[in-house]
Structure 1
C-alpha cells in the first residue's frame, strides 16, 4: 500500500471516529435534555386535567377557572383552561376531542346538549379518561360525576321569587342564553312551572341571546317595543340580566319594570345597587371549579364519588348586600 493510500485511509478512519463521537455526544445531549424536563414535570404535577368552558372569556367561567386553579395549586395538578373564545358548540366538541387525543388524566366540561355531547363523552370515557360535567350536566352520558347548580330548581326559585316580589301580578318576558343548551332549557322550565299556577302572571315572550349581552340588549329592546304591556323580565344567563338592565335603564327607567337576573357579576350587583335589577339567582362558580378538581383526583385514585353534587343556589336582593353597598345604592337615588 502506498504512503498516500495509508494517509487517506488513516484520515478516513479518524473522520469516522470523530463523526461518531459528535453523533453520540449530541444524541446524549438531546436525551439528557428531554428526560430531566419530563422527570421534572412528573415530580411537579401529580395529574394533568383540562377544564373546558362554553366560552373562554365569559366572566362567570373565569370564576369557575379561578376555583379550579386554586385546587390545582393545592393538590399538585397541572390544569389547562381551554375552549371557544365565543360560545360555539362545534369548537367546544373539538376541544374535548383534542384534549382526549393528548391523553390528559381527566376532562371537566359542560354537557350542553344530549344529542352532541353524550356520544362524545361516552367515547372519551371508553378510552379510560374520566369526564366530570360542571355547571351543565349530561345526565344520560357515561360521565363520572356532575357538580353544579340544580338548574331546574334555580329556575323554579327565580319564579317563586318573582311571584313574591310582584305580588303575583306580572307580564313577563324571558331572555334565555340558548334554546337548546341543557342548563338554559331547565332554567326556563323551572321558572314556567313555578309561575304556572298564578292566574295573574303571564309569560308574554321568550327570546334567545346566544350568551351575549349585546344580543340580550337587542332582544330586550325588541320586546319593549313590541310588547309595551311587559313589566317584568327574567334572564337565564349571567349576561342576560345585564343586557336587559341596560335597555330598561335607557328606555323605561321611569316605569316599574321588574328584572330577575342570574349570577353575581360586578355589573349585575351594580344594577341591583341602582335598583334596576331587583333580584338575581346566586350560584357558586368558584366552588364548582375547586370541587371538580378534588372529585377528579378522588376518581382517579379509586375513591367513591357521588354521581351528582348540587352546589348552593339562592336569591339575592338589594337588602342582602352589605350595608356599605346599600348606602351607595341609596346615595344614587
Structure 2
C-alpha cells in the first residue's frame, strides 16, 4: 500500500512538473513571438545618429546660436547633438576634445577649423575611421573634411573694406582688431579687407592687433592703439565681441568722433548702432551654419554628395537698415 501511494505521488509530481514545464515553454514561445514582432519595427525605424559639435568657446553667443541651429535641424532629422567646447578660447583644448570625440566613435563631428597641422591630422584620422567631419565658421582646407559650412570670409573682408571706404565722414587712417592671428577665418577677412584698402587712395591700415576673441582684450588693445596713433579715425573689429570692446577702449583713451565697424549683431552691438556709436556691422548667420551642417550630414548618411564649400550669405546692418526694419514691422 505504501509503495502504491508513493507511485501515485510520483506520477502526480511528474504530471505537475510536466504541466509547469509546458506552460513555461508556451510562455517562452509567446515572448519569442512578441520579440520577433517588435524587432523588425525597430530595425525599420530610423536609428538616432549622434553628432558631436565642438565650439570654439562654450558659452560664446555666436556658438550658442550655431548650437541652436544644429539642434533645430537634428530634432527634425532624428539626430542627437552633443555640444562641447573650451570654457575660454583654447585651441589646445579644442584639439583634446576632437581627439576624445574620435575615440568615443560618434556618427559624425562638426568642428571649427583652427589652422593647425595636428588638428588636420586628427580630422583625417576621423575620416579614416569612418567618422565624417564638417568644419564650420573656420575651415581646415588641408584636411579631408567632408565640407566647410560658413561665411566666405575673404569676401566678407572685402565687404567691410567697401563699407569703410564708403564712409566719407571717417578719415583714412585705420586700426584693425582681429579676433586671432592664427584663425583662418580672421586671416581671410583681413586679406579681403586689405585688398580694398590698399587699392583706395587716401586710406591706410596703420595698426593691427589681436583681441584673442575677448572683449576685455579688444578694449585694452584699442586703448593702446589710440594712445600710440592719435590721428587714427576708424577702427574695425573682425570678431563678434570686438565692437563692444573697441567702444570701451575709445572711452578709456578719451577719444571722440571715432568711426567703428564690426562683425555680427549681438544685442549690445545693435544698441550701439542705434545710438550712433557703431557705424555698421557685417552680420553672419550662425544659426543657419549649424542647421546646414546637420542637413549636409543627413545627405551624407543617405549616400548623397555635395560641394566641399557651402558659403552662408552675410548681410549689412547699420542705423538706416535698423530703422527700415523697425518701421516695416
Q: Which residue of 1 aligns with 2:271?
A: 270
Q: TM-score, normalised by structure 2?
A: 0.83
Separation of aligned partners in 2, 1:249 and 1:45 = 55
Give the Å deviation of 1:251: 4.3
Give the Å deviation of 1:234: 0.7
Separation of aligned partners in 2, 1:167 and 1:189 = 24
SS at match of 2:149: strand
Is the aligned partner of 1:282 residue 2:245?
no
Separation of aligned partners in 1, 2:83 and 2:312 = 21
Give the Å deviation of 1:123: 1.1
Q: Which residue of 1 aligns with 2:241?
A: 239
SS at match of 1:157: helix
Q: Which residue of 1 aligns with 2:87?
A: 85
SS at match of 2:201: coil
SS at match of 2:182: coil
Give the Å deviation of 1:128: 0.7
Give the Å deviation of 1:76: 1.2
Q: Which residue of 2 aligns with 1:29?
A: none
Give the Å deviation of 1:250: 5.2
Q: Which residue of 2 aligns with 1:152?
A: 154
Separation of aligned partners in 1, 2:126 and 2:67 = 22
SS at match of 1:321: helix
> Structure 1 116/258 Cα, relative in aligned 2: closer, same or farther at 3 Å?
farther
Residues 35-73 of structure 1 show CA distances to partners (whole Å, capped at 9, x for unaligned) of: x9xx99x97852000110111111111111110011111
Give the Å deviation of 1:324: 7.8
Give the Å deviation of 1:323: 4.9
For the Cα contact (< 8 Å) 2:112–2:136, is it kept in 1?
yes
Alignment of 1:186-201 (within 5 A): 186-201=188-203
Is the aligned partner of 1:260 residue 2:258?
no
Residues 179-215 of structure 1 show CA distances to partners (whole Å, capped at 9, x for unaligned) of: 1111111111111111111221111111111110000
Which one is further off, 304-313 or 113-122? 113-122
Q: Which residue of 1 aligns with 2:19?
A: none
Alignment of 1:313-324 (within 5 A): 313-323=314-324
Separation of aligned partners in 2, 1:104 and 1:224 = 48
> Structure 1 45/320 Cα, relative in aligned 2: closer, same or farther at 3 Å?
farther
For the Cα contact (< 8 Å) 2:69–2:288, is it kept in 1?
yes
Count, aligned residues:
287
Which sections of structure 1, spanning at least 5 residues, go unmatched? 1-35, 327-333
For the Cα contact (< 8 Å) 1:163–1:169, is it kept in 2?
no
Q: Which residue of 2 aligns with 1:106?
A: 108
Separation of aligned partners in 2, 1:277 and 1:250 = 16
Is the aligned partner of 1:294 residue 2:295?
yes
Residues 115-155 of structure 1 show CA distances to partners (whole Å, capped at 9, x for unaligned) of: 23211111111111000001111111100011100011111
Separation of aligned partners in 1, 2:254 and 2:53 = 40
Q: Which residue of 1 aligns with 2:230?
A: 228
Separation of aligned partners in 2, 1:230 and 1:46 = 55
> Structure 1 291/196 Cα, relative in aligned 2: closer, same or farther at 3 Å?
same
Separation of aligned partners in 2, 1:60 and 1:273 = 21
* Bigger radius of gyration among the two: 2
> Structure 1 231/177 Cα, relative in aligned 2: closer, same or farther at 3 Å?
same
Q: Which residue of 2 aligns with 1:312?
A: 313
Q: Which residue of 2 aligns with 1:66?
A: 68
Alignment of 1:149-188 (within 5 A): 149-166=151-168, 169-188=171-190
